[in-house]
Amino acid sequence: MSESFACSDLPLPSLDIWGKEAFSCSPRLLILGIGNPDRQDDGLAWHLINRLTTYWGYSKVLDIGETLPVNEGLTLCTDLQLRPEMAEDLATYTHVCFVDAHTGALPKEICWQTLQAGFQPSPLSHHLTPQSCLALAEALYGHSPAGFLLSVRGYEFGFSRQLSERTQRLLDSVVNPLLRWLTPFLQQG
């Protein structure tokens, strides 16, 4: 079961509440942006990840499949889609935030959900859900990080690297609440 929040109500990470695992290390968060930047609003996560890299002073654009360790507690990554082999990397984190666009199937334009690891069948042969990816990490590597999904409504999915005006406004509105949410991880290292 997942819990949904409005963007303005993102629960700030209190690591006691977030499910700090029995780790001897400090909390580590992976922000994993999923989507195709060449398909307009499907590339929302890529745009968001690169907005964060610019905010933190990185001049290079993070391309699909690249990872950027911001500090010891926070890593950014983009990819076209979730893949089973990502479970090994996910298992090394205490927390993961999946970022993706949605097409209106979720109740709000900006949807924040806590996730529970669990296999979810898909009608598509090439689709792996974040919950299933977390379940694979648990089953194969003995640890599933606390999982979250930040999903923003996409409206246009043509062949372009430019977001639609509506989705661009939504992206603009989510950056500051996300930066506040990330504060505990930015204060490490």
On whether the CB atoms of residues 147 and 19 are closer than 8 A, the answer is: no
CA distance 148 to 164: 25
Domain regions of the chain by residue span: 3-8+26-186
Of 27 and 145, more confident: 145
On whether the CB atoms of residues 162 and 51 are closer than 8 A, the answer is: no
User: What pLDDT digit, counting tens, does each position of 23-65 carry?
Assistant: 446 789 999 999 999 999 999 999 999 999 999 899 888 999 9
On whether the CB atoms of residues 124 and 81 are closer than 8 A, the answer is: no
- Fold (topology level) of 3-8+26-186: Rossmann fold (3.40.50)
Its sign, for the CA torsion 136, 32, 14, 21, is positive
